[in-house]
Amino acid sequence: MLANNLDIEGLSISFSNEGEELMALRQVSLSVPRHSIVGIVGESGCGKSTLISSIFRLPMENAIIKCGRIHVNGTDVLTLDEEEMNRLRGKEIAMIFQDPFTALNPVLTIGSQLIDIQYRQAISRKEKKQNVIAALQQVGIDRASDRFNQYPHQFSGGMLQRICIAMALLVKPTLLVADEPTTALDATTELQILALIREFHRSTGASVLLVSHHLSVIAELCDRVVVMYAGEIVEEGLSQDVFGAPLHPYTNLLMQCDPARIKEKARHLPSIPGTVSRVVKTSTECIFVHRCPQAVSRCSELVPETYSVEGRTVKCHLISNE
């Protein structure tokens, strides 16, 4: 039995854009062990969309896969052709998208879409419909048999996201990737969706790769956490370690910026000055050096190694000094 549902080793992807090469992902390595929930924390520009698209081999214009391997249940998806990849998608790996409003076909009823997603299973249409009703009830949609014939625009964002989770339930994947599933939803709905994902994980035993830029969402749900910045993984480890005692300056700053963490009412909220840089050529400095408050001279001269500390990994020069 394989230990990991997902194994990414040394993945580097660049985009060729009108003469220059944008290095979107550089030497990214992460694993999702079986029956676990792993979270990726990353803000805009960190490369998480590229990462997810590459796991599913979704078409990306101008993308060049420079090196690396992506093993899904033991198979390297980078070596598969489109037909083989298609057999994997929607069977072993499934995805929940950020915007529930555009994730479903607006001109088909949700019932027909949910029946359609079971096309690989050789059961009768009646059985498929029963599965659909059961799945809808499981995700908490009342009067499922009535709502079966409704269209996506008749549902709210939270309900649509539940329907997407129901789709995943019907497909029974071994790995579920959730790309910012609650970003478009309110706080109370967010809780419900997270609870659903947790329930999904528990009932099907699938592993979950959750991507979000909200720390609280990741902390609620994930066993392990990976922090990404500008195409690199800067810190990785168990949730309680990374959030409890962050080692990388970026993680630290992220925690400080979260308004929920600031106990006293403050007129002036902290932020990280500067913008995420786009890496266009191989550099000899740490990716975070321009915004890091703890940068030393070594940080602009040498790319830091990834150091292992007590079951975590951190990509920072400051660690090696200890």
Gap between the Cα atoms of 175 and 233, Å rounded: 21
Q: Which stretch binds other proteins (CB under 8 A): 77-85, 168-176, 263-271, 312-320?
A: 263-271
By the rule CB under 8 A, 219 interacts with other proteins: yes
Which positions from 185 to 204 touch other proteins by CB under 8 A, shown as an x/- string? xxxxxxxx--x---------
DSSP 8-state assignment for residue 271: -
**Residue selected from 106, 146, 267, 310 as contacting other proteins according to rule CB under 8 A:** 267
Nearest CB to other proteins, comparing residues 7 and 220 = 220
- Backbone torsion region of residue 25, taken as left when φ is above 0, otherwise alpha when ψ lies between -120 and 50, otherwise beta: beta
The structure tokens listed for 118 are 């079971």
By the rule CB under 8 A, 18 interacts with other proteins: yes
Grouping H, G, I as helix, E, B as strand and the rest as coil, residue 5 is: strand
Smallest distance, Å, CB 269 to other proteins? 4
Smallest distance, Å, CB 265 to other proteins? 6
Edge-to-edge strands of the sheet including 175-179? 93-96, 175-179, 207-212, 37-41, 224-229, 232-238, 312-314, 307-309
Nearest CB to other proteins, comparing residues 114 and 225 = 225
Which positions from 164 to 183 touch other proteins by CB under 8 A, shown as an x/- string? -------------------x
Gap between the Cα atoms of 225 and 166, Å rounded: 25
Residue 13's H or E segment, with its range, is: strand 4-17
By the rule CB under 8 A, 272 interacts with other proteins: yes
By the rule CB under 8 A, 278 interacts with other proteins: yes
Q: Which stretch binds other proteins (CB under 8 A): 115-123, 171-179, 250-258, 302-310?
A: 250-258
By the rule CB under 8 A, 309 interacts with other proteins: no
Contacts 24+ apart (CB under 8 A), 77-84: 78/54, 82/57
By the rule CB under 8 A, 275 interacts with other proteins: yes
Gap between the Cα atoms of 195 and 180, Å rounded: 15
**Residue selected from 2, 269, 296, 302 as contacting other proteins according to rule CB under 8 A:** 269
Nearest CB to other proteins, comparing residues 43 and 92 = 43
Question: Does residue 10 contact residue 63 with C-beta atoms inside 8 Å?
Answer: no
By the rule CB under 8 A, 311 interacts with other proteins: no
How many helices (H) and strands (E) would you count in the chain?
Answer: 12, 12
Residues engaged in binding other proteins (CB under 8 A): 17-20, 43-44, 156-157, 159, 183, 185-192, 195, 213-216, 218-220, 239-240, 243-244, 253-255, 257-263, 265-275, 277-281, 283, 290
